[in-house]
A and B are shown apart, each in its own frame.
Chain A
Amino acid sequence: MSFLTVLYACIFYAATAMLVGGLVVKVNRYARTPAPLKIPTTPAPTTTGGVVLRMAREVALFESLFKSNKWIWLFGWLFHVSLLLVTLRHLRYFTDPVWFWVVWAQPFGKYAGFAMVAGLGGLWARRFLVDRVRYISTPSDHLMLVLLIGIGLTGLGMSFVAHTDIVAVKDFFLGLMVFDLRPLPADPVLLVHLSLVALLMVIFPISKLLHAPGIFFSPTRNQTDDSRERRHIAPWATKFDVGSGSKSE
């Protein structure tokens, strides 16, 4: 077994552990922190079903962003939808036999890589061209885009320019999933691609990528507008009720 194979196996086990472990810690914190007051941004749905719909529109269509700025929406939505298609397509490297709908998604996922990089390019251009966005951009904002563009370009390179031994790559990952180390091709473009993906997994739970789980816990979007009908009170606030009858002072 080559050093390279062992190294990348270790990297991916570690990255997966950090991604999952980090997200569990963060999501747990979001879930356990109370929202003591009703603060939905109104007009807000008055029923749970309505909230599910609002959240679905927000997550699938970026409704609020659409209201805000058509350029950011266009680039951002293009990037995210493309990333989704690309990710679904990549399931073929982790399943054997490949699920039928992954086969169906294959051509879309393949070309979505271009749209993904285009969307990222648009978002990056805004960080230089719009003075307001330039002002708020930190080095990590730029590097995050560099990282994602790097992943996209190396992936496209392997799909359309210099093919890698994809059968061996798939074998490597199928092996990883059953703790059986199988050789990884020593293709430089592949190694860069995989390294960047592992880096993305590691920084996910310690960076702004937490917007992905975060939105589901955002009180302004996930609360029902029913404050007059239901008493909503946080555990830490109930102590104020005790002992305070009709006369408090």
Chain B
Amino acid sequence: MAAPQFEVPKLTGYIEVPAVKEGASAHVKSFPANAAIQEIIGFPAGSAPGELVEDWHDKAIAKMGDLLGKYRSLQVFMDACVHCGACTDKCHYFLGTGDPKNMPVARQDLMRSVYRRHFTFAGKYFPSLVGAKDLTKDVLEDWYTYYYQCSECRRCSVFCPYGIDTAEVTMAGREILDAVGYGQKYTNEIMGKLHKIGNNLGLPGPALLDTLEGLEEDMLDATGVAVKLPIDVVGAEVLLVTPSADFFAEPHVESLMGYGKVFHAAGTSWTLSSKASEAGNFGMFIGSYENTRRAAMRIREAALELGVKRVVVGECGHAWRVAYSFWNTLVGVGAGGEDPFSIELQKQLDPRYPAPQHICEFTYDLIKQGKLKFDKSLNDHRVVTFHDSCNVARGSRMGDIPGGQFIIPREVIKAVVNNYHDMAEETIGESTFCCGGGGGILTDDLLEVRVKGALPRMEAFNNVVQESKVNFLALICAICKAQFVKVIPFYGFDMSMVGGVHQLVSTAILLENKEEE
């Protein structure tokens, strides 16, 4: 690991609220997108990356007006904040950097000051009284910096007395920036790969097949059982849509093998899809309804073409939020549709199961039915804790009851390991801290805020490592996995401590050879 160009925070045993340090992270800026990247996803570009289009001022204001008319969240959130300060110590990026513009209210105010100036009576006539500001290039620079130091984790929205969700403001801010040619390279480039190739990593179909065959061989060697990872099988019961990282890197592939073993043990016919080879959907990160929908259409199309009865989603946090909360709206993967578009798909899906279903829900159901056998002692070398991923915790659900998203993954873990310890109450569940890499931040040009933003989670993790000898951080999110693998070494932990929930399942599950039909 190369020496970092910044000071890594020291773990103290407590999550401390820092003093305000103006401009502390103003220098941390991700690379802007070039014209080719912008074009693929339908956005304009200036004369060079980071340059604004002509008429940027009027276009930005027009876009803001458009969004205020389309999204009640934005309209209400711009008006309702009273500057009470409840959110000021809730953001992991503020806790890690001390930069006051990383306080949720201040991040919102970057836009609210412009909203007031251009859209409200008080801001038009008494700007300095209400903190209203003209939209200038400097303001847009601040937007770019700080809207890409927000992981849209929604922790602030839990604590706001009006439920103001900074993620909504960040998404709108990014959408306005995109509309004037100032996109972020990382997110927008990945969005384009997803549209063109079918997954975020840009893995073409043949590479996917190779990987899956290799993993099948690995599993055969390790277990003596022929566990399959089928792809593009027409007529399978279940379509599994998982983040493409699961096909590519450690520790992600361990969970993919875990899913395969669960399907094998349950005897459920299932398939991956080369068309829908990505559960992730960065369209949400940039607030783009059109891009989010276009990416989700791949799942709808794959489900229709393969004729599957169920759609199950692998371990990925924001993907599960998009799937659980938005797929029904965007592309009709769900139930209760009354229009031809959604009925076309929904009449094909099995109404006995929720659509979509999380892989943890799928596995949990099988565990409750006694269809899976485990030898928990195979995980005895591990002492496990579980990190609630922000988008799962605060933007979705699992199971039938509110909060099922906290219960079900833990029940799955406890069914396969003997040693489990939760982190401190105020850092899990709905109060969970983001890993620091979500929402379009998982890029090396933002490494400093990623490391500093991970501080609250690292404090809580360190405490269970010290007190309970925890040595495994179980995750259900590809971004969390990639972020922690990169970041926990800065805090003195080994990257092998990071892994997936279905990696634990994979270790403990007992398999039998199935007869080939």
Contact = CB atoms under 8 A, between A and B. Distances in A.
Contacts of A135: 20, 22, 100, 103, 106
Interface string A234-245: 101110111011
Contacts of A37: 289, 325-326, 329
Interface stretch (A137-145, A150-158, A189-197): A137-145
Given A72-B84, A246-B304, A42 B128 contact: no
A218 B168 CA distance: 12
B329 A218 contact: no
B86 A65 contact: yes
Interface stretch (B157-165, B245-253, B455-463, B498-506): B157-165
A43 interface: yes
A233 B329 CA distance: 5
A228 B335 contact: yes
Interface stretch (A3-11, A27-35, A171-179): A27-35
B120 A231 contact: no
Contacts of A64: 86, 158-161, 163
Given A30-B75, A34-B72, A231-B338, A69 B326 contact: no
Contact of B72 (A46, A215, A217, A225): A217
Interface string B322-346: 0011101100101111110110100
Nearest to A22: B121
B83 interface: yes
Contacts of B290: 240
Contacts of A42: 393-397, 402, 405, 430
A143 B280 CA distance: 47
A220 B328 CA distance: 18
Contacts of A90: none
Given A43-B402, A136-B106, A220-B163, A237 B329 contact: yes
Given A34-B72, A36-B70, A42-B397, A206 B80 contact: no
B204 interface: no
A140 to B, nearest CB: 5
Contact of A36 (B71, B344, B430): B71
Contact of A67 (B71, B158, B297, B329): B158
B84 A76 contact: yes
Nearest to B391: A42
Contacts of A62: 161
B325 to A, nearest CB: 5
Interface string B62-77: 0000001111110111
A48 interface: no
Contacts of A137: 83
B293 interface: yes
> B81, B85, B90, B168: which has the most chain A beta carbons within 10 Å?
B85
B352 to A, nearest CB: 13
Given A62-B161, A140-B131, A38 B325 contact: yes
B129 A227 contact: no
Interface in B125-154: 126, 128-131, 154
A39 B289 CA distance: 14
Given A65-B86, A132-B100, A138 B72 contact: no
A136 B82 CA distance: 10
10 contacts: A38-B325, A39-B395, A65-B161, A136-B83, A203-B122, A208-B83, A214-B79, A225-B397, A231-B332, A233-B329
Interface of A: 26, 29-30, 33-39, 41-46, 50, 58, 62, 64-65, 67-69, 72, 76, 123, 126, 130-133, 135-141, 143, 203, 206-208, 210-211, 214-215, 217-221, 225, 227-234, 236-238, 240-242, 244-249
